[in-house]
Chain A
Amino acid sequence: AQSVTQPDIHITVSEGASLELRCNYSYGATPYLFWYVQSPGQGLQLLLKYFSGDTLVQGIKGFEAEFKWSQSSFNLRKPSVHWSDAAEYFCAVVPNDYKLSFGAGTTVTVRA
């Protein structure tokens, strides 16, 4: 079955440390790939997206993501986390139709 997997339910990271959130997908062809962030009680904000071309994508707030075709992955990274990065992060794909399919989400907690 087609799916989006975020293996880590919850990650705790110290402020200033690096962060990596994993995302894997299983679709026949390379879908369009997205990362969104959601603060408590809020809607979703787009961090970055990949459609084609350079596999390393730069986003807002200092985030980047790398698409790896061989691993069917689209992991999100940030070199130095700020306390304001504490939120829920969703990986999403648009496969051969137009509908966004979301992963289960990863909660990021930032400790001082």
Chain B
Amino acid sequence: GAVVSQHPSWVICKSGTSVKIECRSLDFQATTMFWYRQFPKQSLMLMATSNEGSKATYEQGVEKDKFLINHASLTLSTLTVTSAHPEDSSFYICSARGLAGVTDTQYFGPGTRLTVL
């Protein structure tokens, strides 16, 4: 149980285009989903927290107009990187937390490798 999927697993795009990444909790309902960014050989940095039916909460320094997050249902959150540039190339990982809230474990997706040319 507690499986989180991400799609696509990798994507290459041209500079200036937009890319959408999906995060799904396959066998549980997730009121909260999180989006992280990870650079090579570095730890995960939280970008934003996504709650179903409400606006995402972004961490300091993360541009909300560039990284659009939509949490339309209890099993799906999407991250859209708008007008992507090479510096946006990174490994994006989502996680989902179940209905128990803070004491519930975050389960992570397999990640999406974004390369912007």
How many residue-residue contacts, CB under 8 A, span A and B? 49
Q: Given that A42-B110, A46-B107, A49-B105 are known contacts, is A98 also in contact with B43, CB under 8 Å in the complex?
A: no
Within 8 A of B (CB), among A39-84: 41-46, 49, 51
Instruction: Determine which of A44, A49, A104, A105 lies in contact with B108 in the assembled complex, contact meaning CB atoms within 8 Å.
Output: A44
Can you give 10 contacting A-B residue pairs, CB < 8 Å? A42-B110, A44-B93, A49-B105, A94-B102, A98-B97, A98-B101, A100-B34, A101-B46, A104-B43, A105-B43
Top 9 A-B pairs ranked by shortest CB distance?
A44-B108, A43-B108, A43-B110, A102-B43, A98-B102, A43-B111, A104-B43, A102-B44, A105-B43
- Interface of B with A (CB < 8 Å)? 4, 6, 32, 34, 42-44, 46, 49, 91, 93, 95, 97, 101-103, 105-111, 113
- Interface of A with B (CB < 8 Å)? 32, 34, 36, 41-46, 49, 51, 90, 94, 98-105
